[in-house]
Amino acid sequence: MSPATRSKKQPAPIFVPYDPNTAGVPVVIAPSLLSSDFAWAARELARCRRAGARWLHVDIMDGHFVPNITFGPPVLKKWVAAEPDLFYDTHLMIEHPMQYAERFVEAGSGLITIHVETVGRPRRELRALRRLGVKAGVVIKPRTPVREIQSLLDEVDLVLVMTVEPGFGGQALIPSTLNKVRELDLIRRRESLPFRLQVDGGINAETAEMAVAAGADVLVAGNAVFANGDIAGNLRALRQALARIKPT
């Protein structure tokens, strides 16, 4: 089932490609549901929406590619039913992502990202994701160099640079990973490519500024959004931090 056949109440997800001509693109803060209170999932989703979040990040872990297990398509389907107007960015941290991709699309994913470390023919897999009717992205871990995905950059809607080792929330950002963000931003400017640049791991009011200054335009934030239960206040603090960044 394609996104167009889902609930009629759900508008087409707003995914604005990077504009290599103007470098003008809105910075998105995507709350990571891994850090939310699962006991009150519907409430957490509604509070994100009321606080202005429109893009949510969903971490799928299998206990093999990463040493943790999270949730599967049935859970995502319930979340989408509760808040169908939000954009669900699904990060597959699993060993065989294409075995499950269609089920996550059917559950309501608007974007699926797969790790280059888990697929043998990534260009083919990215095209297969597009045929399912979703945006397609590629992910690299902190130790994976940009050259491993450079030939794919004309095929992707988004590149996710992990700024921590995948598998657990609450880690501190690894500063050296921002060098890869800078490299990717330089490539997309030089080659006029429209992919968006996402970072995930250790994002807070301080590191958000660093990540955006490096070229990131989608920030996945977990503890920084859900800590202490003040989702609206935490998102406000992140936006205020981004407002302090001076244009280059």
Positions marked catalytic: 59, 200
Token pair listed for 154: 């004309």
Q: Are 70 and 81 in contact (CB under 8 A)?
A: no
CA dihedral 222, 226, 227, 231 (to 10 degrees): 130
